[in-house]
Amino acid sequence: MLASKQICTIRNCRLLAAAGRTNFRFLSTSDDVAVEGEWAGCKRSFMAPLRVAARGADILYNPLYNKGTAFKSGERDRLGFRGLLPSRAMNIHSQKARFLLALRAETSAIKKNIMLEDLHDRNETLYHRVLVDHIEEMAPLIYTPTVGQACLEFGARFRRPRGMYFSEEDRGHMAAMVYNWPHKDVHVIVVTDGSRILGLGDLGANGMGIPIGKLSLYCAAGGIAPHRVLPVVLDAGTDNKELLNDEFYMGTQQPRLQGDRYWNLVDEFMQAVRFRWPNVLVQFEDFSSNVAQTLLDKYRDDHLCFNDDIQGTGATALAGLLSALRARGEKVTSLGDQRIVIAGAGSAGIGIGQVLKQAMMEQGKSEKEATNTFFICDHKGLLGKERCHELNPEQQEFARDEDSGLPLLDVVKKYKPTILLGVTAVGGLFTRELISEMSVNCERPIIFPLSNPTAKAECTAEQAYEWSHGRCIFASGSPFDAVEMDDGRIFSPSQCNNMYVFPGLGLGATVCGATRVTDRMLFVAAEALATFVSEDDLKRGRVFPPITSIREVSHRIAVAVVKEALRENLATRVREKDALDLDSFVAQKMYYPEYVPLVEKTFV
């Protein structure tokens, strides 16, 4: 699409214009460091130089600029580090081959994660190129499930800091502190307070691995340039006794802040980041259920923000269910005719319920009809009116008139659901009996154990296929390998993980300068994702596209989000002529990891 067109920053445009070159495209107005590329492996015939305010060894030790052995001879002279590298210049392909050889020789997933993160700290371009070109192999190493282990071992394995930490000690200083971050054009922040890391519980400041992993996907899968992302931990303490006594724990060793002390910390942080980066998108991640919804409600009308576990997971589950209905040969508009059991009534469970309910209403159901399709259970059984005193307002919306407290298995026996979703963080909760019961009542039960990481999944892919005699439509939060049945059938389970949605949603929201993330944006994101699933995918038992197409998926979601932002009058950065071709508008803004020639800033 853009293959031969030149993409560069405004300053480079001026530089090139001065040199009489006009075959470039203007891209960004606010940036020195941008290296932008096309979403689908573009090959450019001309590369605009990047102006860097550094020289000599400082370049080699800056992971955003460093190319390691790929620096060419002229560049080594021009930038003053001849002699600091072995003589032979490699290219990104040979560097990648060398790295992959070493990575694949290692068998432990956590050690591979460390090798990748060390590369991240040395050379971001090569790191992201490895991710883009081998996303299926790398995603489980830098993200779920291995990132869970990386968080558990974060303190003991700490090497280099990445991102920012804000704690109560910083109160009164945050507006100044944000200027310690060396990049002036941050587009996306992923922030956690570490209170509910995946299904692993309160990991305090060790939860930093999650924002880092999510943001790697923002760059590789969503095409956000690496200098535009900022991982953050709000260090509000931890109630994890082990961590409080752990000699290598990295965070504040005090119990979690409560009440005003907690909310004041959050408030000052939000104001500080908005002050320095007024258009920044803030993604709330892995906040425990008792604060997640309040946090979202507090900021969603005035800040560009969303909660990934509530809204991102909800939109992803919706997309998976729409595809699963297609796989069953049913209309996608039959969502509101299903009976849906959600095991888990935390922020993810309720978030999924809310997104699905909204979709049913878009499809023409009344709110009452839509609500009536849900049977949400927590560890005390079915959410029912009799339990209202112990439920929060969002849970109360789903409380049923009868059978309050009915155990999960009995709910399945009595109400014969067609869909079973798990977000409990209780590994193995979906027993043989439960899945057999689902299969008695429904020819093709939809079974999505969504808890992460793998050990927390409510059942494995193998169990679900075996216990349903190969009849279920399965997707899980963490990846599972293909399953071969005794009769020789092979199923390739899909991963129903919010990684399919957040990179594209964030890309769309930031490129168009959206002022808010709305429920409709989540809905169109889910629709765009669902329409990406081919008939061939469905035949193989897949209800999500292969991870290898994640950049295209993100691109398509981003375009849908920009369209929706325009429709709702919330886009501030789309010119009339951009709106004529949103596909190209979004594609042009997507970062693609490749080396660009460096020029010293003082030189121009």
**Which residues of the shown chain bind Mg ion in the complex (CB under 5 A)?**
286, 309
- Note whether 498 binds ligand OAA by CB under 6 A: yes
Give the helix/strand (H/E) hosting 361. helix 347-362
Among residue numbers 157 through 176, which ones bind ligand OAA (CB under 6 A)? none
CB closer to Mg ion out of 51 and 196: 196
Residue 65 annotated in active site: no
What's at 208, amino acid-wise?
Answer: M
Among residue numbers 457 through 486, which ones bind ligand OAA (CB under 6 A)? 477
Residue 5 backbone phi and psi in degrees, to 5: -85, 150
CB of 475 to ligand OAA, least distance (A): 13
What is the Cα–Cα distance from 51 to 32, expressed in whole angstroms? 7
CB of 199 to ligand OAA, least distance (A): 7
CB 222 within 8 A of CB 554: yes
- Note whether 452 binds ligand OAA by CB under 6 A: yes
**Mask of contacts with ligand OAA, 215-254, x by CB under 6 A?**
----------------------------------------
- Note whether 497 binds ligand OAA by CB under 6 A: yes
Taking alpha carbons only, the member of 555, 565, 563 closest to residue 518 is: 565
- Non-local (6+) Cβ contacts of 170 within 8 A are 177
Q: Show the DSSP H helices in 193-343 as ranges.
A: 209-220, 241-244, 259-276, 289-299, 313-327
SS3 446: strand
CB of 312 to ligand OAA, least distance (A): 7
Tokens 């669902």, located at residue: 530
Q: Is 578 annotated as a binding residue?
A: no
Taking CB within 5 to 8 Å according to partner kind, which of Mg ion, ligand OAA, none is near residue 144? ligand OAA
Residue 143 annotated in active site: yes
User: How long a stretch of residues is the chain?
Assistant: 604
- Active-site residue among 127, 143, 165, 299? 143
Taking alpha carbons only, the member of 264, 262, 304, 255 closest to residue 284 is: 304
CB of 295 to Mg ion, least distance (A): 13
Residue nearest to ligand OAA (CB): 144
CB of 54 to Mg ion, least distance (A): 36
CB 402 within 8 A of CB 384: yes
Q: Is 372 annotated as a binding residue?
A: no
CA distances (Å), origin 519, targets 31, 414, 569: 31, 33, 14
CB closer to Mg ion out of 124 and 193: 193
CB closer to ligand OAA out of 63 and 140: 140
What's at 437, amino acid-wise?
Answer: E
What's at 372, amino acid-wise?
Answer: N
Out of 198, 464, 501, 562, the residue judged to bind ligand OAA by CB under 6 A: 198
Q: How far apart are the first and last CA of the chain?
A: 31
* Strand ranges (E), 204-335: 229-235, 281-284, 305-307
Q: Is 113 annotated as a binding residue?
A: no
Neighbours of 57 (CB within 10 A): 12
Out of 32, 202, 235, 308, the residue judged to bind ligand OAA by CB under 6 A: 308
Quote the distance between the C-alpha of residue 161 and its chain's center.
Answer: 21
- Note whether 144 binds ligand OAA by CB under 6 A: yes
Q: Is 286 annotated as a binding residue?
A: yes
Q: Is 206 annotated as a binding residue?
A: no
Out of 36, 235, 268, 309, the residue judged to bind ligand OAA by CB under 6 A: 309
Taking CB within 5 to 8 Å according to partner kind, which of ligand OAA, Mg ion, none is near residue 477? ligand OAA
CB closer to ligand OAA out of 196 and 339: 196
SS3 296: helix
Among residue numbers 266 through 305, which ones bind ligand OAA (CB under 6 A)? 286
SS3 212: helix
Among residue numbers 528 through 567, which ones bind ligand OAA (CB under 6 A)? none
What is the Cα–Cα distance from 167 to 257, expressed in whole angstroms? 10
**Binding site per annotation, positions for a divalent metal cation:** 285-286, 309
Q: Binding site membership for (S)-malate: which residues? A: 196, 452, 497
Residues found near ligand OAA in the complex (CB under 6 A):
144, 198, 286, 308-309, 452, 477, 497-498
State the catalytic residues: 143, 214
